[in-house]
Chains A and B, each alone.
Chain A
Amino acid sequence: MLSTLTLNDQLALALGLAGLLFLLINLLLLKRNPPKHIPEPAKEAVENLLHVSSEQGKRLVVGLGQNLTNASFDLSGASGLSLQRALLKRSLFNDHPLQSFSGDGVLACLSRMAVHGAYRGALASELFDGSLSQLSGTSHMAYTASLANYIPDTSNAGLLLAGQMSPVILLALDQADRHSLPAISAIASLSGQAAGFFGSSVNLMGEDVFNAEGKLAQRKASLASLSAQDWLRITISIGLLLGAILKMGGVLP
């Protein structure tokens, strides 16, 4: 079977298996030996947002992005959901609970489910309000425009963008800037990360986009995957160096 696979597919299979193995090993290691993770500035920024939100009795606005199933099936579009869940648990009984906006149907439903689950978990199902997680636009422009409209509301404390977004999201960040709202962007696309670099938002780049929740909520699976990511990164780096040598030597096709 393996021989029929191309080199690309063989490498893909090896990486997938290595990733899974590293995750499982780190889950086991976690029980004996808690990992020493470097403090993340984004964690502090999110904690600050939460603090401002609960202190001023104002709302935290979360933009979950606009592509999970819209243009293609892309799981990175769901990267904001775990962060939403982590933040929700801390803002359920605020005057203004966390408000999330999605630009994708499935994402909107998943986010609604997360809000419902959070209230149910806190034995307060009767407080659940579907409008706390809304679809806000069905195209990236409509989604961004909707966010830009909502941000100036005086009851907002801060903006958190987490998910798959186009660089046009810069408009929402600019709107937050104009109204002196602190903002954090954790955008999964490269062009979106470049856009998040503008303005004064705390901008997460690369794989950190997927890690904000891990350091915030300290869930076992998330912590184990942070360590597994380190292992995989080291493996890939060694693989790149070895691969270059083998390629020069004509061993690799």
Chain B
Amino acid sequence: MKRPLPLIVGVLSGLVVLAAMFFVPQGGSILATVLNWMIIVAGVALLVAIASLVLTHLRFIANGKKGFLLSLVLVISFLATLVFGLLRGVDDPVFLKWVGAVIRPIETALLGLVALVMMSAALKIFRERGWSALTVSFGVSAIIFLILGLGFLQNLNFPALNGVITFVEGLPMIGARGLLIGIGIGLLMMAFRVLFGMEGSGND
């Protein structure tokens, strides 16, 4: 395989999508077809990646690699879900109930762990990052928004205070807007680099 072919395919697909989005409605059907292909290819890529994951863990088990017990848990749970789902169908309520019974408590507990981690991390933030405009404004903002989150101040019903609260509540949007524009600028440049084959590929 020579390098120019993927480059040509990439540039062409990008330009077709750009043109189709610009010349709506004429390009609508082309765009729908390309999006359809993208969804399929992304789906197949996911299956390939999952197959690769399972094969890797099977190899760990076969080689008795350290921690192979965990690989065994992964492979068995994967195969059990796949077989159960193939037999009952992915929309089957019993199947969904059992999948939920495993996924939901783990995910909820993991999110709960995040709360515990955040508590300790927030306390260490000044020690780790020192005192700067960023850390001080972060600390003050976190305290203020924690207090505002309680709703106590809003319930006092002082018109002047409510005005201040509304103003303060709008402040995080300023930083978010600036960061979003910055991220947008960075992403735009990255997109141009990818589109015109300047980003490089694994085949460089």
What residues of B have a CB within 8 angstroms of the CB of A85 in the complex?
A: 200, 202, 204
Assess whether A221 is in contact with B185, with CB atoms less than 8 Å apart. Answer: no
What residues of B have a CB within 8 angstroms of the CB of A87 in the complex?
A: none
A211 within 8 A of B: yes
Assess whether A168 is in contact with B186, with CB atoms less than 8 Å apart. Answer: no
Assess whether A207 is in contact with B117, with CB atoms less than 8 Å apart. Answer: no
Assess whether A19 is in contact with B49, with CB atoms less than 8 Å apart. Answer: no
Main SS at interface, chain A: helix
CA distance A75 to B17 in the complex (A): 14
Assess whether B189 is in contact with A170, with CB atoms less than 8 Å apart. Answer: no
For residues 104 through 128 of chain B, which have their beta carbon under 8 Å from a beta carbon of chain A?
106-107, 110-111, 113-114, 117-118, 121-122, 124-125, 128
Enumerate chain B interface residues (CB-CB to A < 8 A).
38, 41-43, 45-50, 52-53, 56, 59, 70, 106-107, 110-111, 113-114, 117-118, 121-122, 124-125, 128-129, 138, 176, 178-183, 185-194, 198-204
Smallest CB separation, A36 vs chain B (Å): 19
Assess whether B48 is in contact with A170, with CB atoms less than 8 Å apart. Answer: no
CA distance A130 to B57 in the complex (A): 12
Assess whether A113 is in contact with B117, with CB atoms less than 8 Å apart. Answer: no
Assess whether B113 is in contact with A171, with CB atoms less than 8 Å apart. Answer: yes
Assess whether A193 is in contact with B179, with CB atoms less than 8 Å apart. Answer: yes
Q: 1/0 per residue A220-253: CB within 8 Å of B? A: 0110010011001100100000000000000000
Enumerate chain A interface residues (CB-CB to B < 8 A).
15-16, 19-20, 23, 69, 73, 75-76, 78-79, 82, 85, 102, 104-106, 108-110, 112-118, 120-121, 130-131, 134-136, 138-139, 141, 144-145, 149, 167-168, 170-171, 174, 188, 190, 193, 197-200, 205-211, 219, 221-222, 225, 228-229, 232-233, 236
Total CB contacts across the A-B interface at under 8 A: 168
A206 partner, pick from B45, B70, B107, B179, beta carbons under 8 A: B179
Assess whether B192 is in contact with A225, with CB atoms less than 8 Å apart. Answer: yes
Smallest CB separation, A5 vs chain B (Å): 10
Assess whether A141 is in contact with B110, with CB atoms less than 8 Å apart. Answer: yes
Assess whether B52 is in contact with A112, with CB atoms less than 8 Å apart. Answer: yes
CA distance A117 to B6 in the complex (A): 13
